[in-house]
């Protein structure tokens, strides 16, 4: 069954409420604020915003796959692929994009779509 993941930034913060919807049932995914992401990413210095994006990536992958080891192996690349999306105030991610990503990570797909071109409506208006 297809899932949809949504994020809503909590006003006045960089934190998000993350939800997953499947078959009209919506539940919140809790982001583990106690998780020491630095233990999984020892080679980078992270801002609070980047650390949160990694935590969101890990939480979504764990929810989608149910496989902690696979999620920990892929969450860095997943965050890098979805980073622009995760920094929006409101976002929507369908599970088919996660499947494409995971298939590319496992060498089952030839190519993954590059979403780095994503622009928010505000960026488009200000450039126009």
pLDDT digits (tens, 9 = 90+) for 13-55: 878 899 999 988 999 988 876 666 656 665 566 777 788 888 8
Q: Is the pLDDT of residue 68 over 50?
A: yes
Which pLDDT score is estimated for 112?
Answer: 47
Phi and psi angles of residue 120, each rounded to the nearest 5 degrees, phi first: -75, 160
Pairing outcome for strands 16-22 and 4-9 = antiparallel
Please give the average per-residue pLDDT across 119-127, as a whole number: 54
- What pTM does this model have? 0.74
Q: Is the pLDDT of residue 12 over 80?
A: yes
Q: Is the pLDDT of residue 116 over 60?
A: no
Q: Which of 19-23, 94-98, 108-112 has the lowest mean pLDDT?
A: 108-112
Show the domain range for 100: 4-127
What is the number of domains present in the chain?
Answer: 1
Which pLDDT score is estimated for 105?
Answer: 79
């Amino acid at each position: 069954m297809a899932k949809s993941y949504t994020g809503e930034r909590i006003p006045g913060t960089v934190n998000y409420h993350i939800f997953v919807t499947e078959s009209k049932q919506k539940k919140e995914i809790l982001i583990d604020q106690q998780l020491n992401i630095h233990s999984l990413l020892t080679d980078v210095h992270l801002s609070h915003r980047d650390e949160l994006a990694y935590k969101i990536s890990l939480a979504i992958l764990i929810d989608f796959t149910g496989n902690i080891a696979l999620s920990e192996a892929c969450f860095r690349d997943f965050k890098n692929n979805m980073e622009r999306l995760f920094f929006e105030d409101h976002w929507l991610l369908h599970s088919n994009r996660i499947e494409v990503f995971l298939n590319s990570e496992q060498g089952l797909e030839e190519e993954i779509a590059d979403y780095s071109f994503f622009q928010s409506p505000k960026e488009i208006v200000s450039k126009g």
